[in-house]
A and B are shown apart, each in its own frame.
Chain A
Amino acid sequence: MSTNPRSGTIQEINGPIVTIQLPGARNGEQVKIGELGLVGEVIALDGEEAIVQAYESTEGLRPGEPAEGLGWPLSVELGPGLLGGIFDGIQRPLEQIFLRAGDHIPRGLTLPSLDRERSWHFVPDPELEIGAELVTGMRLGTVQETDTIEHRILVPPDRFGDLLELAPEGEYRLEQPIGRVRTPDGRTRKLKLYHRWPVRTPRPFRRRDHGIAPLITGQRILDTFFPLMKGSKGAIPGPFGAGKTMVQQQIARWSNADIVVYVGCGERGNELVDVLESFPKLQDPYTGRNLMERTLLVANTSNMPVVAREASVYVGLTIAEYYRDQGYDVLVLADSTSRWAEALREVSGRLGQMPVEEGYPAYLASRLAAVYERAGRVETGGCGNGSVTLVGAVSPPGGDFSEPVTAHTKEIIQTFWALSKDLADARHYPAVDWVGSFSEHVHTAAEWWHREVDRDWENKRGSALALLARDAELSRIVNLVGPEALSSAQRWELEGAALIKEGVLQQSALDPVDSFASPEKQFLLLNLMLTIYHKGAELIELGVPVQELMTLPMLTRARRAKQTYNSRQTDKLREMLEEIVLEFEQVRLEYAKFEEHAR
């Protein structure tokens, strides 16, 4: 789809939709609009007229102004220099734009996405010889992009063939060739440290593979209760203020992904600044390096043009696929997919397309599925396995999960972390509702947990969920007839559930000790609460009054354990478990003595 630029004339401007007389235009083609040179994309054709969506505000644009069809689709630059950066919805470098243009984003400004001045130390792959047959995705060499991430320079999808020349180790800028290849059509083409790729076309890979390990996020309610496999798809729906962004930022901080692509899609500017300011100060728990070295941001905030919002998700995914192709486990966080869907709706409405539900076009479900389909664990062309895990926030109007975006998303994803307003209002964070959430991967994740942490993981998880279900049932009874109706054993069940909620499920992102919990800490806390519950239940069976147990100081200690001991102090948690078992034994003995006495 590469033809020479063609010129046209603006006919009509209706908000972000511009009609341009542009014969020969192609759907998806990039267009420069008006004297300002705004960027846009052809979304429909009607005779000689192209309907173009503008990625920038059209204020001041006039009918009659010139326009130019550029002949290529919306594409991104892929190469070293992406990590640590912040880009807008069409991959313009926002930090450079700030340095160049100040506080506000000017229109019609084109800057290359990747820095052309910077040199990178390229090390050619020692195994490659001149004349070798290059296949897509094969490794040409490496560049140390950040201290932790080795950037693998790959054969671009359209440059396979015979290697004619490969540059020696040394410093290269992005535009300097590092090699030449003869493609099957007989042409000689240059290889550079970067290449371009159209964002709406998934990058090719050798074959799909299944996930083998859970993404560890350090969040107990996620990892222990509703695991997400690397390479799969998850969603976080919830009403405003329930904690979608917090959960996503926690995952961005603490998960064991190699690369994190955070797409701020139609949300707040300050949330991106929060990431930009805090990540460089935070330590990756796996590598000890600052978190920004593995993170990049794509930002279309809610006040930026709606149309670029739709593009931002594809930009993020394409960059993610590029690192996947280098053999990395990449995590994409999209906050919020509802804003992406609303951008679709906005454009379809302006095109006069028939809405089917709540104003959304009929293709909402298929587009949504296609976006999530770009997640997956694959065998790459030349770098082993890589994966893209996609976690999307969903913002249902009025918190109503039956609305179209939430409902369709639920059909597509494998892990569903439903946030509840009631829990959030009570400041139970993360406000993940254990009743409405699900993971289809508990059994697969169990293999990992049983191997790496404890053979009893799946059982313990099951007991905790059962206890929580009993809690809901008993609470209903209490609400009907009052607490007096409950037996001692039932009251202890309520207490047990409270321990699970406070001691395990609740995990403050703001608590420096508990913000991240290793799988081992997660399991030990769960085990601790369950042990207390089971030991207590035994004593109640023997006749120990429940009141006696409820006032045991160990309960408060157990509730505080998560914030008292960090993930490296798991021995302390083990000690605590032993002490608590002893304490219960003590109570049992005392009670036996007391009984004896009474007799």
Chain B
Amino acid sequence: MSAREYRTVASARGGLLVVKQVPRVAFGDRVMIRDHRGRQRNGQVIRTSRSEALILVFEGTDDLDLETTWVRFMDEPLEISLSPELLGRVFNGIGEPRDDRPPIVSNVRRSVSGSAINPAARTYPREFIQTGISTIDGLNALVRGQKLPIFSGSGLPHNRLAAQIVRQARLMDEESGFSVVFAALGVSYSDARFFEEDFASSGVLGNVVMYINLADDPPVERLALPRVALTAAEYLAFDMDRHVLVVMTDMTNYAEALREVSTAKGDVPSRKGYPGYLYSDLAEIYERSGRIRDRHGSITLVPVVTMPSDDITHPIPDLTGYITEGQIVLSRELHNQGVYPPIHILPSLSRLMKDGIGKDDTREDHPRVASQLYALYARAQEARNLASIIGAEELSERDRRYLAFADAFDRQFVSQGEDEDRSIIETLNLAWELLSRFPNDALSRVSETDIAKYHHSGKK
């Protein structure tokens, strides 16, 4: 069947077109739309029956009329072309060049919706990635193939942190770093520019492919963008054997776009107007990361999610947390105290850390040191709360020690320079410096051997 054109648009609103008298259009197929000025838009069939089709228009339905709009059914799914030439290029949300260079030509074309990885085809991610950031490497380690989002708030330095991770991430014993897929969703021009310059100045630009949808670009295009970016990532990882780091910022804008369209479609809303399928929809995206049996490459995913009103229980971060393998949470309070990166360790978590650290991966004391720091810091938060009620002077001596520990922890361990790339050994040594403020018997989560070896009281 060849492409067919229709001029039977019956309605156009909220990014959706209803086209009548179009039998046998395939669900999910790509559509081209020509408006009254002859300009082209792109769409996808999201409902189809014997008499009409519902079309999602990536560039939106603004300025369309019913009389002169032409719709052309392309008779193929939404696909992109894939080749190693992707690296170094910049595209929009549906994979069209944004860098004034020609489109990618290749006979490898793939549908962007992807299909689920067979769980039996996966292998468990367990290779420690050193990001050079103590709160991540020491306490919430990232491993190759993990999906670990940054939960942030507006105005917090999540983009600087993401850029630092991109610059510094590497395996301890490997020279070659990551290929980067960068996805910008609804971000400002200056934020996109920041990343581009950062990639350029660190000399990785040739190893990066960017998919950009700016704040003033059509929101509906954001629905396709992560899928397009991950299709490229899958190609680089599983066809080209590369280790791919995917950074997506800001996935909150993706979820907003989804809400917009689902409302227009009349889907039953669940919490805060987001559709009930937001969870599955996000999972389809995030589960594309991972490691696969007998494949050399991998996809590690670091999405940025800004929490509306800094609320971690808001449906977007909440559902994300239910899908991803942990989260790095930024705190406005730490940021206001001038701490960079303002990572709040208590709500932060890396679920895959357990298999990526320890004797053969980082150092034997690592798991216990992390657990001990957490226990002390959690205890110290109680002391902080108490101090804020009754005043620090009223605290017991024990509590004052916890308080001092927490302050030192924020200043020395959490806080570090944007260019400071700490090795995991440096991070662990720093941890012991802090642990050594406590007598041995206050440290029940580390072993006696650890204490003998690393506690400063034990060292002469």
Q: Give A residues with C-beta under 8 Å from B.
A: 11-15, 19, 57-64, 86, 94-95, 97-98, 101-107, 239-241, 264, 266, 268-270, 272-274, 276-277, 299, 301-306, 339, 342, 345-346, 349, 355, 358-359, 395, 397-400, 424-428, 478-484, 502, 508, 510, 551, 553, 555-556, 559-560
Cα distance A270–B326 in the bound complex, in angstroms: 13
Closest to B78 in A: A59
Structural contact, B386 and A273, CB atoms closer than 8 A: no
Tally of A-B Cβ pairs under 8 angstroms: 217
CA–CA, A426 and B382, complex, Å: 10
Residues A94 and B390 in contact, CB atoms below 8 Å apart: no
Nearest residue in B to A400 (C-beta to C-beta)?
Answer: B313
For the complex, what is the distance from the CA of A428 to the CA of B375, rounded to whole Å? 8
B 88-121 to A, binary, CB cutoff 8 A, 1 in contact else 0:
0000000000000000000000010111111111
Are A479 and B279 in touch, CB under 8 angstroms? no
Inter-subunit contact B50/A64 (CB<8 Å)? yes
Knowing A12-B50, A301-B116, the reply to whether A481 touches B325 (Cβ < 8 A) is no
Cβ-neighbour of A277 out of B124, B371, B385, B441 (below 8 A): B124
A104 touches B26 (CB 8 A): no
| 8 Å CB contact of A241 from B119, B267, B351 | B351
A301: B residues at CB distance < 8 A: 116, 119, 283, 287
Contact present for A63 and B119 (CB under 8 Å): no
- What 3 pairs across the A-B complex have the smallest Cβ distances? A302-B283, A426-B378, A398-B313
- Tell me if B118 and A397 are in contact (CB < 8 A): no
A269 x B27 contact (CB < 8 A)? no
Determine whether the beta carbon of A241 is less than 8 Å from that of B124.
no
What A residues does B28 contact at CB under 8 A?
58-60
**Pair A63/B48 contact, Cβ less than 8 Å:** yes
Whether the Cβ atoms of B290 and A269 lie closer than 8 Å is yes
Q: Is B315's beta carbon under 8 Å from chain A?
A: yes
Interface centre among B23, B29, B50 (most CB of A within 10 A): B50
25 A-B Cβ contacts within 8 A? A11-B50, A14-B47, A59-B27, A59-B113, A62-B24, A63-B24, A63-B48, A64-B23, A103-B117, A239-B321, A240-B318, A269-B117, A299-B119, A301-B283, A303-B117, A303-B280, A342-B279, A342-B280, A346-B280, A358-B270, A398-B314, A427-B375, A479-B386, A479-B389, A481-B390
Residues of A within 8 A of B385 (CB): 479
Instruction: Decide: A304 and B116 in contact? CB cutoff 8 A.
Output: yes
- Inside 8 A of B395's CB, which chain A residues have their CB? 482-483
CB distance from B305 to the nearest CB of A (A): 13
Smallest CB–CB gap between A37 and chain B, Å?
16
A397-B313, A424-B349, A425-B346 are known contacts; what are 10 more A-B pairs with Cβ within 8 Å?
Answer: A57-B115, A62-B27, A64-B50, A94-B118, A240-B322, A270-B290, A272-B119, A342-B276, A427-B378, A553-B441
The minimal Cβ–Cβ distance linking A20 to chain B, given in whole angstroms, is 11
Structural contact, B49 and A12, CB atoms closer than 8 A = yes
- Measured in the bound complex, the distance between the Cα atoms of B238 and A397 in whole Å is 34
* Complex-state Cα separation, A304 to B288, whole angstroms: 11
Residues of A within 8 A of B47 (CB): 12-15
How far apart sit A57 and B112, CA to CA, in the bound complex (Å)? Answer: 13
Query: Which listed residue (A13, A355, A480, A502) contacts B389, Cβ 8 A?
Result: A480
Q: Which residue of A lies closest to B399 (CB)?
A: A483
The one of B27, B283, B288, B293 in contact with A60, judged by C-beta atoms closer than 8 angstroms, is B27
Is B313 in contact with A399, judged by CB distance below 8 angstroms? yes
* B152, CB-defined interface residue at 8 Å: no
Given contacts A355-B268, A482-B394, contact A103 B287 (CB under 8 A): no
Partner of B27, one of A61, A302, A400: A61
Q: Which of B268, B325, B399 has the most CB of A within 10 A?
A: B268
Q: Which residues of B contact A64 (CB under 8 A)?
A: 23-24, 50
Other-chain residue from A57, A62, A98, A395 in contact with B118 (beta carbon distance below 8 A): A98
**Chain A minimum-CB-distance residue to B440:** A556
Q: Which among B46, B279, B326, B349 is the interface contact of A339 at CB below 8 angstroms? A: B279
**Interface flag for B177 (CB, 8 Å):** no
Contact B399 A425 (CB under 8 A): no
Is B295 an interface position by the 8 A CB rule? yes
Minimum CB distance partner of A344 in chain B: B276
* Min CB gap B24→A, angstroms: 5
A304 partner residues in chain B, CB cutoff 8 A: 116
- Chain A residues near B113 (CB, 8 Å)? 57, 59
Q: Does B122 contact A (CB under 8 A)?
A: yes
Q: How near does chain B come to A249, taking the closest CB pair, in angstroms?
A: 12
- Across the interface, do A62 and B26 meet the contact criterion of CB distance under 8 Å? yes
- B-side binding surface: helix, strand, loop or mixed? mixed
Contact B122 A270 (CB under 8 A): yes
A298 to chain B, nearest CB (A): 11
Shortest C-beta distance, A564 to chain B (Å), equals: 9
Tell me the complex Cα distance, A14–B52, Å: 12
From A475, which residue of chain B is reached at the shortest CB distance? B382
In the complex, whether B352 has a CB less than 8 A from a CB of chain A is yes
> A98–B121 contact, CB under 8 A?
yes
Contacts of B347 in A (CB 8 A): 425
- Complex interface bits, B361-382 against A, C-beta within 8 A gives 1, otherwise 0: 0000001000100110011000
Measured in the bound complex, the distance between the Cα atoms of B280 and A20 in whole Å is 25
Q: What mask results when residues 419 to 460 of chain B are scored 1 for a CB within 8 Å of chain A, else 0? A: 000000000000000000000110010000000000000000
CB-CB under 8 A for A482 and B390, given A103-B238, A270-B325: yes
Given the interface contacts A102-B121, A241-B321, A270-B352, does A426 sit within 8 Å of B375 by beta carbon? yes
Task: Collect the chain B residues with CB atoms within 8 Å of residue A479's CB.
Answer: 385-386, 389
The answer to whether B279 touches A276 (Cβ under 8 A) is: no
* Cβ–Cβ < 8 Å partners of A266 in chain B: 279-280, 283
Closest to B352 in A: A270
Chain A nearest CB from B43 CB (Å) reads 15
Q: Are B321 and A358 in contact (CB under 8 A)?
A: no
B354 at the interface (CB under 8 A from A): yes
Report whether A97 and B326 are in contact in the complex, using a CB–CB cutoff of 8 Å.
no
Is the CB–CB distance between A13 and B118 below 8 Å?
no
> Which residues on the B side are within 8 Å of A13 (C-beta)?
27, 47-49
Question: When the two chains form the complex, which single residue of A104, A358, A427, A480 contacts B115, counting CB atoms closer than 8 Å?
Answer: A104
Closest chain A CB from B192 CB (angstroms): 28
A124 and B432 alpha carbons, distance in the complex (Å): 65
Cα–Cα distance between A277 and B354 once the two chains are bound (Å): 14
Q: What residues of B have a CB within 8 angstroms of the CB of A12 in the complex?
A: 47-50
- Interchain CB contact under 8 A, B279 and A302: yes
B396 adjacent to A61 (CB under 8 Å): no
Taking the closest CB of chain B, its distance from the CB of A477, in whole angstroms, is 12
Residue among A64, A95, A241 with most chain B CB within 10 A: A241
Tell whether A63 pairs with B346 under 8 Å between CB atoms, given A355-B268, A359-B268, A427-B378.
no
B444's partner among A274, A395, A397, A559 (CB-CB below 8 A) is A559
A131 to B314, CA, bound (A): 67
Instruction: From B125, B280, B325, B394, name the one whose CB has the most chain A CB atoms within 10 angstroms.
Output: B280
Nearest neighbor of B53 in chain A, beta-carbon distance: A63
Question: Are A302 and B271 touching (Cβ within 8 A)?
Answer: no
In the assembled complex, the Cα of A60 lies from the Cα of B73 at a distance in Å of: 13
Looking at the complex, which one of A57, A107, A303 makes contact with B287 (CB distance below 8 Å)?
A303
Provide the bound-state CA to CA distance between A204 and B115, in Å: 38
> In the complex, what distance in Å separates the CA atom of A299 from the CA atom of B122?
13
Residues from chain B with Cβ under 8 Å of A277 in the complex: 123-124
A345 with B23: CB separation less than 8 A:
no
State in angstroms the CA–CA spacing of A63 and B347 once bound together.
49
What A residues does B14 contact at CB under 8 A?
none
Q: Is the CB of B23 within 8 A of A63?
A: yes
Alpha-carbon distance A241/B396, docked complex (angstroms): 33
B323 within 8 A of A: yes
Contact with A along B383-409 (1 / 0, CB 8 A): 001100110001110010000000000
Q: Is the CB of A274 within 8 A of B124?
A: yes
- Interface check B166, CB cutoff 8 A: no
